[in-house]
Structure 1
Amino acid sequence: MATTHPVPGPVLREARLRLQQGGTLPLEAVDERVARSWQRSLAAGLTPASGMHHVDHLSGSELRQSLACNIDLINHSQPVMEYLFEQVRHSHSMVVLADRHGTLMHTLGDADFLGKAERVALQAGACWHESQRGTNAIGTALAEACGIEIHGPEHYLERNDFLTCAASPIVSATGELLGILDISGDQRSHHPHTLGLVNTAARMIENRLFATTCRHSTCLHLHPQAHGIGTLAEGVVALSEDGWIMGANRQALAWLGLRHQDIGATPIARVLDTRIDALLARAASQHDSPLVLHRKDGSVLHALVRAQPGQRVAMRSTTAPRRSTGPATPPEQDALAQLDTGDAAWRAIADKARRVCGKPIPLLLHGESGVGKELFARAVHDSSPRRHRPFVAINCAALPEHLIESELFGYSPGAFTGARKEGSLGRLREADGGTLFLDEIGDMPLALQTRLLRVLQERQVSPLGGGAAVAVDFALICATHQPLREAAEAGRFRADLYYRLNGLTLILPPLRQRSDFEALTRKLLRELGGEPPLDIAPDLLQALAAYPWPGNLRQYASVLRTAIALLDAGETTVDWPHLPDDMLALLRPAAGPQAAPASSPALATPPTAMAPSMGPDQKLADISRAAVQQAIQNARGNLSAAARQLGISRQTLYRKLG
């Protein structure tokens, strides 16, 4: 209630008059919430004697439109309102439902009170916002966001003094204000338990709405006592596939010490000693007995997990729920942001990827070998709602053609000679609930492209050797250095698969085009060097920045890793003497004659072959071929060693030689 003991009407009327005349309110006479409401009413230009001249009332068509917009709220509220009205029938009262703006949507009332109610427009279509009606239970509950009772002269407008009203907000599972439930009646029929009755009825409506809107979620039903689960007093939490709280009723928020603002930003493991995989495993086991969970303060909550049938099947297959909702990590904290070292083009690409995280849109990453396509794909996964589920990476160019089918799709026991007796899930099923990354997708054989297309269309995997098809749910990211559109037009790649993969194409810039070379270098030194922090000689950094890096980030990281390993004890600056001989040979022409001191041990013997200088008319392809040939020469024809020096794969080296 607004006041612990009813304040006499004359005292309240005198307090209203003092406020209107610019005086202060005696706090002992007026509840602080009522006092705030009176002040808001005064600021809205209302006076206690205000009439009904400027009060909004919806027309017939406007009311029908408003009813249509609030149909779910009305449908779930009507049965509860009818029950509530049975409790207050013959008490000169009415039950009222208002929308989030204070406009009355539906009313039920005693016939002997409806006439009085109509005189003050307690009827559908009327607005009872504080700015128009002054202090009243509906408008003040909206403003204060809590249940409240306004009795007699606590109403700001004198014409409403005959009323006693109790109202409670109705909020959604995510904390959105949906409307107000109210009981209004003759003040002579005031009952001290009316507000409690309205609060309880509002919670009933909220729970009905929760059950509908979260019916596809995994739900955790909570209560300090096991037999309290399933009652109106239980707390209910809706969880995303990766364990984030996506909805909660008021009781759950109170027990978990959360606010509505925390919904969508709090994993269940932060407030209870459990994880989503354990909860889903419990749901899959179909145990009806509650779990015992501990809050962070050590106190106990009993919990029952309820998941949809499809989710339980998924758990039996050691996979995740089928939904992919949940909050993406805020950009300033996510894994993509951690890779960002300042290049504007890279940042724009990351922002596009971030926008489709959690949506059923496949990503197709283009870029030269070594630009970090897998690193980028993993960061997208780690920034998405699926970040706590598997990230499965497959290099389609590295798998032998006769193994790629069984590797991707799995196989039944005894499917072929040499197969494991227990069979294999396959990488597609391992990625269920998470993200599948197919690197070098352009190298996938045509026959396998057909099977992959079928999986993407049907969202099911059929293992080799027979057996029932198994449903799968994964985010798909593919990568290639090849122009897939041209390959599809030439018939080397299935056009229908290309269009299926090409949800959002992103082209990662090569290292030579990035504007953040110095910041990227210092980030790599931190990651590769550890403590103490490492520096790099300015002239060396300049020479490194001028080099075209045919192997991109992979090659550059390999060079820095080797240089760090060659540091003497106590050295903290990477300099020319720490570079491998082949890199010295490649960098020295680009850096000029002062690239390294004459006394540098690494340059005491000139290299047997030097890369050509980078003239303005020289093509990048020529420089790349020169770097490859130099690496092969330094490795004495060992192609594997040459590939390692360049930081590229053998397959990429073969393509560059071809």
Structure 2
Amino acid sequence: MQTPSPASALRQARMHLLEYGDCPSGSIDERLARSWRRSLEAGLSPTDRVVDTEHASAGHLSHALACSHELLAHSRPVMEYLFEQVRHSQSMVVLADPRGMLINTLGDAGFLDKAARAALTSGASWHEQHRGTNAIGTALAEASGVEVHGSEHFLERNGFLTCAAAPIMSAGGELMGILDLSGDQRSRHPYTLGLVSTAACMIENRLIVSACRSHIRLHLHAQLEGIGTVAEGIIVLSEDGWIVGANRKGLELLHLRWPDLGATPLVRAIDVRVDELLSRHTRRPGQPTQVRLHDGRMLFVQVHAEQSALTAGPVPSTGKAIAMQPDALAGLDTGDLRWRAAAQKARRVAGKPIPLLIQGESGVGKEFFARAVHDSGPRSDGPFVAINCAAVPENLIEAELFGYAPGAFTGARREGSVGRLREAHGGTLFLDEVGDMPQGMQSRLLRVLQERQVTPLGGGRAVEVDFALICATHRNLREETDQGRFRSDLYYRINGLAVQLPPLRERSDFGILTERLLASFNPEGDIRLVPDLMAQLSRHAWPGNLRQYASVLRTASAMLEPHEEYIDWQHLPDDMQEELRALAQPAMLPAAGGLSHNLEELSRVAIRQALESSCGNISQAARRLGISRQTLYRKLNA
């Protein structure tokens, strides 16, 4: 979509899409065709005049701005610089959060008025589901830089715009936001996308440097003069030399991908150990040094490290992640940047009357995280009361939470019960799987949170309660509220600050996590995994996340003989061996006589493996295979 398609081709493709649900193959850019199809599937029509129901309230926008504080702080100077390059060109610079909500705009006054009529203002959602094909929403969907010009927009009312947008990624590969430059379609310039992409890289580099000050960082470039420029690569290392973060240029220079973070030691990419690099840095601080990659290329490297990393002596083979703070959260910190970002946010609200909502797949450690937040805050001496809302029978949950008076119902204890809410007084109440709470209970919980009083079943006076509230869920509560399954007023009451814990397959600290788990299961010995098994485990999808992985390692540890120090394939449960070997099975070369049949079979095997390793995520599997999502759907239905 970097060059505008001819108007006639666009008109014909649009007519074909509306009549048949798809665009003729090759008629327009494939990314544009994918975006148009997504827009159509979202129920949009090109002639829609969007009713701006997707505009955030003042409170919701304020919450979004608070959650994006770091992104905003590092983006604003770059946005101002970018705007200076296009001032007086009837255009504006826009920053959107990871959900496509606009959180900051800067532009020519005259164009801002015009843009406001199209809802290009802070608080508006430009997700494809709400606005159809547009640079912000499509860059979000494609996770890459895109340009959408004039009538390439799905909604005709946005045809006056020309827009270019690029994603902003964290050091761990998490999408932080979208940077966009929008203007009058008559003022389109061929270098706009390049300008925006460069600005996005500048923001990424600033974010990485800020977030990883306590880590060892390597700044890389093929030329000495490239160090310190926007074109430099940045690699983030753990203390023991594992690559746990990077910018996109750093990945490119070392021929790595985002999934390699946390599973790749530096020596696998560069022919030098981390302690040698630190030694060179100590002798000549700030002076770049030259290193050789395993493919023979030479790079200049500048080391950035805190003094503690330089004076700690030899790097231990089982080094721990650098703790951000000496508290319970730091004790769980094994180096993943997304997890650490969640912990840093949680620290800021500990002790304040702001409820915390922990989101993440089943098994990612939400209760461990919640307990660590409690232990890291001023209420650590108080009780930590955990309730799994999905485990308590619906007919008992009310009595469980609110307590009951003596004889309140058949089977009640003679002395009654104070209830878990009152047990949490002075401490922390943790509601796990709050998304599974019955709707009748949701209204009663909302009243308690509003009034801070509990009335037991069967009568009795209301009792005041004071507790910090932490909730957790594997469900998307925003979708649950949209579908009417979760009260919206309760959602906003418990969602003071939302943090997302990453699934195990996306964490960059797999090696250190493995060491800690093995140490906990084998306190009397230094037990490790054989390298090829470790590599295969790090590539597994782990649908049960840490809970599943810990169970596998616990069982494998129990299978060791007294003299054994390494866990090997034979120590694993049979079903896990089968899963891992299927994932690792190399493709066999087809025999000449059955080439067509074998190619089809190889295609099916590749698709199955990609889906397994992506935990059923179609978009992720398609990216692994190097094909479009629509192509993967066609192959699955063939």
Counterpart code for 2:289? L
Contact 2:334 2:513 in 1 (8 A): no
Q: In the alignment, which residue of structure 2 is the partner of 1:280?
A: 278
| Runs of at least 4 residues off by over 6 Å | 316-322, 514-517, 524-528
Residue 524 of structure 1: CA displacement? 6.7
Q: Secondary structure at the match of 2:20?
A: coil
Find out whether 1:138 has 2:288 as its counterpart: no
Counterpart code for 1:175? G
Find out whether 1:379 has 2:527 as its counterpart: yes
1:108-507 matches, within 5 Å, as 108-315=106-313, 323=322, 326=334, 374-375=524-525, 378-379=526-527
Contact 1:170 1:181 in 2 (8 A): yes
Q: Secondary structure at the match of 1:150?
A: strand
For residues 5-39 of structure 1, what are the alpha-carbon distances to aligned partners after superposition, in whole Å with 9 as ceiling and x for unaligned? x3232431231121011164234441110010001
Residue 226 of structure 1: CA displacement? 1.5
- Change in Cα spacing, 1:308 to 1:17, as seen in structure 2 (3 Å) is same
1:89 aligned to 75, 87, 90, which one?
A: 87
Residue 77 of structure 1: CA displacement? 0.5
Distance 1:246 1:119 in 2: 44
Distance 1:153 1:17 in 2: 13
- Change in Cα spacing, 1:276 to 1:515, as seen in structure 2 (3 Å) is closer
Q: Secondary structure at the match of 1:121?
A: coil
Structure with more relative contact order (C-alpha pairs < 8 Å, separation 6 or more): 2
Find out whether 1:17 has 2:165 as its counterpart: no
Residue 253 of structure 1: CA displacement? 0.5
Distance 2:145 2:513 in 1: 39
Contact 1:138 1:167 in 2 (8 A): yes
Q: In the alignment, which residue of structure 1 is the partner of 2:633?
A: none
Q: In the alignment, which residue of structure 2 is the partner of 1:556?
A: none
Contact 1:284 1:313 in 2 (8 A): no
Distance 1:243 1:355 in 2: 15
Q: Secondary structure at the match of 1:21?
A: helix
Q: Secondary structure at the match of 1:84?
A: helix
1:8 aligned to 6, 9, 25, which one?
A: 6
Q: In the alignment, which residue of structure 2 is the partner of 1:547?
A: none
Contact 2:2 2:146 in 1 (8 A): no
- Change in Cα spacing, 1:283 to 1:46, as seen in structure 2 (3 Å) is same
Contact 2:168 2:200 in 1 (8 A): yes
Distance 1:37 1:237 in 2: 33
Counterpart code for 2:105? T
Counterpart code for 1:38? W
Q: Secondary structure at the match of 2:264?
A: coil
Residue 316 of structure 1: CA displacement? 8.6
Contact 1:89 1:110 in 2 (8 A): yes
Identity %: 52
Q: Secondary structure at the match of 1:180?
A: strand
Distance 2:321 2:20 in 1: 61
- Change in Cα spacing, 1:526 to 1:137, as seen in structure 2 (3 Å) is closer
Distance 2:47 2:208 in 1: 42
Distance 2:81 2:199 in 1: 9
Residue 289 of structure 1: CA displacement? 3.5
Contact 1:145 1:169 in 2 (8 A): yes
Q: Secondary structure at the match of 2:312?
A: helix
For residues 423-481 of structure 1, what are the alpha-carbon distances to aligned partners after superposition, in whole Å with 9 as ceiling and x for unaligned? xxxxxxxxxxxxxxxxxxxxxxxxxxxxxxxxxxxxxxxxxxxxxxxxxxxxxxxxxxx
For residues 160-214 of structure 1, what are the alpha-carbon distances to aligned partners after superposition, in whole Å with 9 as ceiling and x for unaligned? 1110000000011111101000000000000001101100110111111011100
Which of structures 1 and 2 has the bigger CA Rg? 1
Q: Secondary structure at the match of 1:323?
A: coil
Counterpart code for 1:323? I
- Change in Cα spacing, 1:17 to 1:193, as seen in structure 2 (3 Å) is same
Counterpart code for 1:90? H
Contact 1:273 1:295 in 2 (8 A): yes
Distance 1:157 1:68 in 2: 31
For residues 362-404 of structure 1, what are the alpha-carbon distances to aligned partners after superposition, in whole Å with 9 as ceiling and x for unaligned? 97x9xxxxxx8632xx127x89xxx9xxxxxxxxxxxxxxxxx
Per mean C-alpha deviation after superposition, the further-off stretch among 135-144 and 55-64 is 55-64
Q: Secondary structure at the match of 1:199?
A: helix
2:70 aligned to 47, 69, 72, which one?
A: 72
Counterpart code for 1:165? C
Residue 265 of structure 1: CA displacement? 1.5
Distance 1:41 1:321 in 2: 46
- Change in Cα spacing, 1:130 to 1:78, as seen in structure 2 (3 Å) is same
Counterpart code for 2:270? L
Distance 2:7 2:288 in 1: 52
Contact 1:311 1:321 in 2 (8 A): no
Contact 1:310 1:322 in 2 (8 A): no
Distance 2:562 2:91 in 1: 73
Q: In the alignment, which residue of structure 2 is the partner of 1:45?
A: 43
Distance 1:290 1:516 in 2: 44
For residues 323-359 of structure 1, what are the alpha-carbon distances to aligned partners after superposition, in whole Å with 9 as ceiling and x for unaligned? 266569xxxxxxxxxxxxxxxxxxxxxxxxx979659
- Change in Cα spacing, 1:317 to 1:196, as seen in structure 2 (3 Å) is closer
Counterpart code for 1:37? S
Gapped regions of structure 1 (runs ≥ 5): 329-353, 366-371, 388-508, 534-658
Q: Secondary structure at the match of 1:33?
A: helix
Residue 288 of structure 1: CA displacement? 4.0
- Change in Cα spacing, 1:228 to 1:115, as seen in structure 2 (3 Å) is same
- Change in Cα spacing, 1:107 to 1:3, as seen in structure 2 (3 Å) is closer
Q: In the alignment, which residue of structure 2 is the partner of 1:553?
A: none
Per mean C-alpha deviation after superposition, the further-off stretch among 105-114 and 22-31 is 22-31
Residue 149 of structure 1: CA displacement? 0.3
Contact 1:55 1:127 in 2 (8 A): no
Contact 1:264 1:326 in 2 (8 A): no
- Change in Cα spacing, 1:313 to 1:72, as seen in structure 2 (3 Å) is same
Aligned length, in residue pairs: 361
Distance 1:233 1:150 in 2: 25
1:574-653 matches, within 5 Å, as none
Distance 1:59 1:25 in 2: 37
Distance 2:315 2:58 in 1: 55
- Change in Cα spacing, 1:373 to 1:203, as seen in structure 2 (3 Å) is closer
Residue 312 of structure 1: CA displacement? 1.8
Distance 2:189 2:152 in 1: 16
Q: TM-score, normalised by structure 1?
A: 0.51
- Change in Cα spacing, 1:373 to 1:235, as seen in structure 2 (3 Å) is closer
Residue 47 of structure 1: CA displacement? 1.0
Contact 2:291 2:299 in 1 (8 A): yes
Distance 2:305 2:28 in 1: 49
Counterpart code for 1:83? Y
